[in-house]
Structure 1
Amino acid sequence: MSTIITSNPSFGFETTAEEAAAALSSYIQGKTILVTGVTPGGLGAHFVTVVAAHKPKLLILAGRKPSILEQVAKELESAHPDVKTRTLELDLASQASVRKAAEQVLSWPEPIDVLVNNAAIMACPYSKTVDGLEIQFGTNHIGHFLFTNLIMSKLLQSKEPRIVNVSSGGHRFSDIRWDDIDFKDGQVYDKWRAYGQAKTANILFSLALAEKLGSKGLKAFSLHPGAIQTNLGRHINQQDIEALTALNKEVGNKVDPTTFRFKNLTQGTATHMVAAFDPALDQHNGVYLQDCQLAPEDETKPYAVDKKSAERLWKLSEEIVGQKFVY
């Protein structure tokens, strides 16, 4: 059972993005919101589609493919002619692309009120980013770490800046592999452990942001959207499911197949809404959410919410990108 920390005690597993957005409508209105990963059929695209109905000032759509970004922008403008959109080409697997995108954001006049680091890849075959990092860690964490810090001045110009890092219950597959981030150059690669490491990093990153920047008014949260069948799972076959079952058993994760439930897309995006807009969360900076509330303790690995690990990961991430971010 999740601990109730949001403004609506009735929010939970079944809550839809539409219901959450309606309840938080006044906090969406007038905001400039930047979202990474807005592929149609995915969580990011659904999030911006629902948000658009509540009069945000500007929706900035960030992703790798300009053609997809334009498609989503056109659909939003057609459904909500009053809502302004802007697209931003951003390839999280390339630090050069991240730096170029950040420069563009810094050249724009508006502060960023809400940054939703939603883009992710999951359980893919071993490969590396252009900078030589294991692809899941490099894309899901390092790309977002660098982008977020490079545009931090824009966030801090907002009256109520908020950062949401979309993590996963998959963080339970692995802690950060401090001595072997890249699985011995792929020789001992396990796609689920690699996903787990990256998702643990997302939670620790939110914790570090809250610790370092909470005094400047910044709020940062991470979340597990739930198990949702989207294009994120395109690399997964039956053998991978069996490997996942074995891994859960090995690391002691309790998963009961008789009670396991998938969410639909809109239930899967509800926790995004709460993390991005609910003012009740201001008292709980840095927390990890699930089903629109604080994630249950027995489904949150202690290593993912450890402040010392959050600081250690921050330093490691700075080394990887070759730049220090001191606040």
Structure 2
Amino acid sequence: MSGKTVVITGGSSGIGRAAARALAADGARVAVVGRNPERTHQVADEIGGEAFLADFDRLDDVRRLADALLTRFARIDVLANNAGGLISKRADTVDGHERTIQSNHFAPFLLTNLLLPRLRQNAAEAPVRIIATASSANSFGRLRLDDLDLRHRRWLAGWSAYGQAKLANIVFTEELARRTAGSGIEAYSFHPGFVATSFGADTALLKFANTVGGGRLGLSPEAGAVPLVQLASVPNVGSPSGTYFSQLKPNGHTARQAGDAALASAFWAASERAVGWSAPPTA
């Protein structure tokens, strides 16, 4: 990874922080993106990287982040869309969207598209990878284009929204792979395994599981980060762009809506409308 630039969102904690450490140790220049200023700067300082602050509950923050990254880096080799998580209490963002779908999908969708012209230029010289942290929770998710903000479905302590958002990561990655085919950009999504981090710590289900497990439930962040580090760094992934990995195993189990090309295209258009963005016209 020597000489390569990696952008990791959600890089100030959990598997994002572990991946940032591992990739920096392998020679990469890492842009650590986080919401918490103290933690984000601490991780960046620790690994010799650079800190970028953004709150994905605010799409204007995402736009400012994209501007800052484009100004700072002439080349980005890896974009790891890792930020997001499960939110137990329903709430809307300042942009009017349910927080789970915005932080897990709309924000990274917008960031990726704002960076995409530069990434295409970079990929003409050497391959570029875009990686999404998804989850096996996608298997119980359902994308409803008429209700992406879950205003007309049961909340279920945030799990219904989380399942939908993780399915969104996979469907977005599949459509991104189709739209960038032949460009030198490779897109992948992955399930890290059940990782023992602060993820979902305020939900009753995980509180109970951690109590039963004596607080030792799940993989370490370092173990959970292995698929992200591998997808970012191996010379040849060995699977087609658009593949979803369950940890290191390609073609992991997904909900039936994954692989539906018509749905993916319609979902892309719905996401564009949601974030107020459209692709610039091509010559």
User: TM-score, normalization: structure 1?
Assistant: 0.77
- Secondary structure of the corresponding residue to residue 237 of structure 2: helix
Offset at residue 131 of structure 1 (A)? 0.4
Of 44, 49, 52, which aligns to 1:88? 52
**Structure 2 contact 132–190 (Cα < 8 Å) conserved:** yes
**Structure 1 CA distance for aligned equivalents of residues 75 and 145 of structure 2:** 35
1:302 equivalent to 2:267? Answer no
**Structure 2 CA distance for aligned equivalents of residues 263 and 239 of structure 1:** 14
1:136 equivalent to 2:104? Answer no
Of 132, 156, 164, which aligns to 1:165? 132
**Structure 1 CA distance for aligned equivalents of residues 191 and 81 of structure 2:** 13
**Structure 1 contact 223–288 (Cα < 8 Å) conserved:** yes
1:70 equivalent to 2:41? Answer yes
- Secondary structure of the corresponding residue to residue 223 of structure 1: strand
Offset at residue 134 of structure 1 (A)? 0.7
Structure 1, unaligned runs of 5 or more = 1-27, 78-84, 243-260
The one-letter code matched in structure 2 to 1:290 is S
| Other-structure match for 1:32 | 5
Of 28, 31, 35, which aligns to 1:60? 31
**Structure 2 CA distance for aligned equivalents of residues 281 and 238 of structure 1:** 35
| Other-structure match for 1:318 | 272
Offset at residue 302 of structure 1 (A)? 2.4
| Other-structure match for 2:213 | none
1:206-246 alpha-carbon deviations (Å, 9 max, x no partner): 1111100122111000000001121112222148879xxxx
| Other-structure match for 1:23 | none
| Other-structure match for 1:233 | 200
RMSD of aligned Cα (Å): 2.0
**Structure 1 CA distance for aligned equivalents of residues 238 and 279 of structure 2:** 24
| Other-structure match for 1:221 | 188
**Structure 1 CA distance for aligned equivalents of residues 62 and 47 of structure 2:** 25
Matched-pair identity in %: 31
1:206 equivalent to 2:148? Answer no
**Structure 2 CA distance for aligned equivalents of residues 214 and 230 of structure 1:** 35
> Structure 1 residues 29, 183: closer, same or farther in 2, change over 3 A?
same
Offset at residue 109 of structure 1 (A)? 4.1
| Other-structure match for 1:49 | 21
Runs of 4+ in structure 1 off by over 6 angstroms are: 239-242
> Structure 1 residues 119, 239: closer, same or farther in 2, change over 3 A?
closer
Offset at residue 197 of structure 1 (A)? 0.6
> Structure 1 residues 240, 136: closer, same or farther in 2, change over 3 A?
farther
> Structure 1 residues 238, 211: closer, same or farther in 2, change over 3 A?
closer
Which structure: greater helix fraction?
1
Structure 2, unaligned runs of 5 or more = 210-216
User: TM-score, normalization: structure 2?
Assistant: 0.89
1:38-93 alpha-carbon deviations (Å, 9 max, x no partner): 233x000000111111111x21011112222111112213xxxxxxx211111111
> Structure 1 residues 300, 109: closer, same or farther in 2, change over 3 A?
closer
- Secondary structure of the corresponding residue to residue 143 of structure 2: coil
- Secondary structure of the corresponding residue to residue 304 of structure 1: coil
Offset at residue 178 of structure 1 (A)? 2.1
- Secondary structure of the corresponding residue to residue 221 of structure 1: strand
Q: Which has the higher contact order (CA 8 A, sep 6+)?
A: 1
1:100 equivalent to 2:64? Answer yes
**Structure 2 contact 7–32 (Cα < 8 Å) conserved:** yes
**Structure 2 CA distance for aligned equivalents of residues 295 and 282 of structure 1:** 12
| Other-structure match for 2:116 | 152
| Other-structure match for 2:224 | 268
